[in-house]
Chain A
Amino acid sequence: MDDRSLTTTDCDVVVVGAGPAGTCAAIVLARAGLDVVLLERGPFPGSKNMYGGVVYPRILDELIPSWWEEAPVQRWVTRRSTMVLTPDQALTVDFRSQRWGAPPYNGATAYRPDFDHWLAAHAEAAGAQLVCSTTVTGLLRDAGGRVVGVRTDRPDGDLRTRLVIACDGVNSFLAKEAGLYPPVDAANYTLGVKETLALPKDVIDERFGVRGREGVDIEILGGTGGVNGGGFVYTNLDTVAVGAVLKLPKLAAQRRRPEEIIAGLKSHPAIAPLVEGAEVKEYSAHLIPEAGLSMMPRLAGDGMLVAGDAAAMCLAAGIWLEGVNFAMASGMYAGRAAVEALRAGDLSTAGLAGYERRLSSTFVLRDHRKLRRAPSLVLSDRVQHVYPELITSVVERMFRVDNPAPKPGLRRIVRDETKRLGVRTRDLVRDGIDGLRSFG
């Protein structure tokens, strides 16, 4: 079986990784009638995958109309809060929209072992050949350096192909092996750790103020001690996910371990009433490519495309933590560009340029460009360690009734508090402008 000549191929495209990126690429390719093999190292798609908890699947409108009728959704997010925490204060911006609780919906909580498994079944139905329990260990390249296949850890495990799409997630050893990545810097990554906590559905409904399939998404700034990062709380049907996202160099350089940081979050007076009494059902961890545009690899090489977290497509900009939708979209566009290139018979970097073109004209790279400063701003020391305290103390003084003293004016409060916290007006103004530029 092994004596196939060097020029024949086993299939048109090998997609590595059956996460949201790889699966969407495989769906597009298989529907175009191409022979596509989808390789996944876990025993089933989703078994290796962990995230905070909310998917924004509107991009699936293009691939699976009425996805909401069949996707394994836990709850539809109808309430989204952003919390700023100091050790004993919390400021919450709370938004609720009942419109998000009806088709076409907005965000949904879902377990990845369910969601990815469901999505991959669509790729199989479209004709993609999914093989699980298979780890890709390297690329096959010809003398000119062009990618011509993959090596797997199965016996007789080389697969020769016309195009490889690497959707192998945040560590993407394939994109690195292909030389598409700039030197790797730990500062571009955050570690996500979370606990899945069990609570009866009615208790969750009551504590979070929701009914039926409505759910809540809470993003948290502060609350992670000295480690730059953030936290999250998401409601599933009968579990609550609580976790922290921690900047690697900062995490490594201090003494509190990840699970202790989660414990700190859970004991915060604003969070504790939501999760008290709940038993840990599963503990998990995964990396996030946090630095967006500034860490992105080249997206195409000869015979190869990179999509999803493997290409740092995850948007992690403070109050946004979206990766699954960016992965699905980039996978889908990689699939379309691949179909185009295969039909044209040009799988060189130039022939695959349609991929980046598509990303640039859609939300995938547009959002990244717009928010390119956000990750570093949100994870900066001032935003992480000083501004939460500043904001909450200003609000605390605004709402404090110090009779018989008259209410102080807002301007005076801000002046007092910035002075007390040693914030220089110059920095405050600059960060404010940066913030407007980043998020405006």
Chain B
Amino acid sequence: MTAHGTPRNHDHAHRWPEISFQDRMDTVRFDVHERAHIVVDGSKCEGCSTQHCVVACPANLFVPTSDGGIVFNYEQCFECGTCYLVCNVEGAITWTYPDGGHGVVFRRT
């Protein structure tokens, strides 16, 4: 068993290249299909107090608008399922898999 103490001279911030969210998503390959496999009914979102999808979606695809609604883009989606699980408003999210052969293609995962 080893115990590391408090850091001494460690300036541990920013020791790897900064990466913007778009650059992060650009590391992922998507074969986008013209059909949106996830559809968000923005009118349902207007009454949503939690907007859990906004913080939980790993691909950051749910963007809140100033009038309390949500703008959603399906293209760079991991097809993980997080959004439909954390959303509490019935009917706000219609979730399907993309058509066969399309969507995310992982390579080193």
Interface residues of A (CB under 8 A from B): 41-43, 46-51, 88-94, 111-113, 132-135, 137, 152-154, 170-171, 184, 186, 189, 191, 193-194, 196-197, 236, 239, 248-249, 251-259, 266-270, 272, 275-287, 392, 395-396, 399
- Kindly identify which residue among A134, A196, A236 contacts B100, using a CB–CB cutoff of 8 Å: A134
Most B C-beta atoms less than 10 A away, residue of A47, A137, A281:
A47
Is B80 touching A285 in the complex (CB atoms < 8 A)?
yes
Question: Is the CB–CB distance between A170 and B81 below 8 Å?
Answer: yes
Known contacts A93-B1, A277-B15; A51 and B98 CB within 8 A of each other = no
Shortest beta-carbon distance, B18 to chain A, in Å?
10
- Tell me the dominant secondary structure on chain B's binding face: loop
Per-residue CB proximity of B51-80 to A under 8 Å, as 1/0?
A: 011011011100000000000000000111
Q: Are B10 and A269 in contact (CB under 8 A)?
A: yes
Q: How far is the CA of A191 from the CA of B85 in the complex (A)?
A: 11
Given contacts A41-B97, A43-B31, A134-B100, contact A186 B86 (CB under 8 A): yes
Are A191 and B109 within 8 A (Cβ)?
Answer: no
Cα-based distance from A41 to B82 in the complex (angstroms): 19
Determine the distance from Cα of A395 to Cα of B3 in the docked complex, in whole angstroms: 7
Interface contact A396-B106, CB-CB below 8 Å: no
Q: Which residues of B contact A (CB under 8 A)?
A: 1-7, 10, 12-13, 15-17, 19, 21, 23-25, 27-28, 31, 50, 52-53, 55-56, 58-60, 78-82, 85-86, 96-101, 103-109
Contacts of A133 in B (CB 8 A): 100-101
- Nearest 9 pairs between A and B by C-beta? A133-B101, A252-B52, A285-B58, A50-B109, A269-B7, A276-B15, A133-B100, A252-B86, A186-B85
Q: Is the CB of B19 within 8 A of A280?
A: yes
Contact A272 B109 (CB under 8 A): no
Residue of B17, B21, B109 touching A113 (CB-CB under 8 A) = B109
How far, in whole Å, are A132 and B107 apart by their CA atoms in the complex? 16
Residue of A nearest to B13 (CB): A267
Residue of A41, A272, A283, A395 contacting most chain B CB atoms (<10 Å): A283
B106-A112 in contact (CB<8A):
yes
Please tell me if the beta carbons of B21 and A266 are within 8 angstroms of each other in the complex: no
**A residues less than 8 Å from B80 (CB atoms):** 191, 285-287
Q: Are B3 and A392 in contact (CB under 8 A)?
A: yes
Q: How far is the CB of A256 from chain B (nearest CB, A)?
A: 7
Residues of B near A258 (CB, < 8 A) are 56, 58
Inter-subunit contact B108/A113 (CB<8 Å): yes
Given A133-B101, A286-B80, A89-B108 contact (CB < 8 Å)? no
User: A284 is contacted by which of B4, B28, B53 (Cβ under 8 Å)?
Assistant: B28
A283-B28 in contact given A251-B55, A255-B55 (Cβ < 8 Å): yes
Which residue of chain B lies nearest to A51 when distances are taken between CB atoms in the complex? B109
Measured between alpha carbons, how far is A88 from B5 in the docked complex, in Å?
A: 8
**A111 and B5 form a contact (CB under 8 A):** no
Interface centre among A171, A184, A252, A281 (most CB of B within 10 A): A252
